[in-house]
Structure 1
């Protein structure tokens, strides 16, 4: 594991032998040198360091490309960054064992730039057209136009982050109201699905704000809700989707980010009355490239699993004909609840 200690000015203070090997520079040459002279300044690692400076807890970004004068075509690393009270940062970098070739790194960078350019331009046009219609349209159209603008801006933010190689496994944590987010999803899905699905809300108003990445969690919950809605009408008739929130007894932290024990948790469940998912499919439903049109469970569930795990949470699915429930547990607060 390569370890690098840097100060608040992003200058290297110390590096271990593994870092010398990874960065292709000796400790003597690295000491006192700005990070931007070792790793190219447009690398995502600098954004990750900035985020570590703004928020508590470790910042993790697996499969992140880095390149520098001594690394030629670049490498893929799993990165973990921890900030200290004295303003320094410890960077832990492990070269990904199954890293892609240098051509793949360059190709990913090129894809990110193309994605950022080619998608953001039409999004700007969509937002502009919605604003124009809002000025000229009727009052009963305002809710739909707000959905168009909000969704376009959210996609724009996600594209910006993807083009900077920011993964779903590296969330930007801040407090937000989970019910406001779920209401946005319900409004968007009602507009997309139509009147064939009834969306039922059973929210616990006493829940506090959740600490998480609102864009990432919206993407995750919207994937689940969309799949549930499609499953509910898969047999061609009217269906229903019920979204519930509540406190959970406790979230086991054995595989989460902040140590063992139980923490207070929020539960969000999405249930549909569709045909259900077979037991065999349930075992692989969160794997990449697992999809089933008849079950209406698509590729997005691998993203859902990644987002929930990055938030220190858990997800499970329970299904039988007429009742499929996805349950997401998200930790609340920083304390550990041993009761």
Structure 2
């Protein structure tokens, strides 16, 4: 029987991430002319970050915070909770006052509803909190940081996802270069959720999508304990990874971090602006749906119609645009 406290690192996921970097390089090399022309396009395609949805409480001396250096409780790269802003928010959300379950649920609701999806370089959980936006990995890191701050063990659950058609259309379909990268691989590079250890078991927390984005997709609004797999995505088999730190997968290293920052802030500025604008448009569509129906009624109707998606064999048989030796 697998030890629930042991890390699970998928070799297949590591290989997929390596291939993803090769696929990205291929897209870059075959689109040099396109990137050169983007300087002119950049003036027309702009992304304006939305305002933060919340105020950050003020830190006060003596606020409680976990001081353990035990695995799954200690700070890790990009997930440092021993900073005033995160400590203050943890205390406001009920750290050391509510039960572990109720507190983790409060953190889940805060991160899921308030942090807006934005594609940008990796940075710390504090940066995500101050900014109010981030990728799914940013959101998971903030969720984990707030849980660890309250002395609740938390970890990352990551995998290589195959997108549903609707997700592909609204996000990847927003930019031709993003389509090339995805099609070169046959699946997206990385997605995930958080997990918290409460009463002897790990509970999943899909903090990635806001309710508005899920309403725009016509799917139920995932609750604390409900998985993203089968709702938003299919997981590529044998890629599920459960780790204390994203650095276990080589993410955010000293070599890769500056390169990715240059790529995202300079080279891919226009494609990312298109993707991020597409996300904001989807949020507005979902917002109108929830305003008209009410969130509770919408979720009830969505669950009546919704059936969990099973992995379809034809998706696994999809051939990527790039082929690697042995495939």
Class of the TM-score when normalised by the shorter of the 2 chains = under 0.3
TM-score using structure 1 length: 0.21
Which of these two proteins has the greater Rg computed from alpha carbons?
1
Q: More helix by proportion, 1 or 2?
A: 2
- TM-score, normalisation: structure 2: 0.22
Which structure is richer in relative contact order (CA contacts within 8 A, separation 6 or more)?
2
Q: Which has the higher strand share?
A: 1
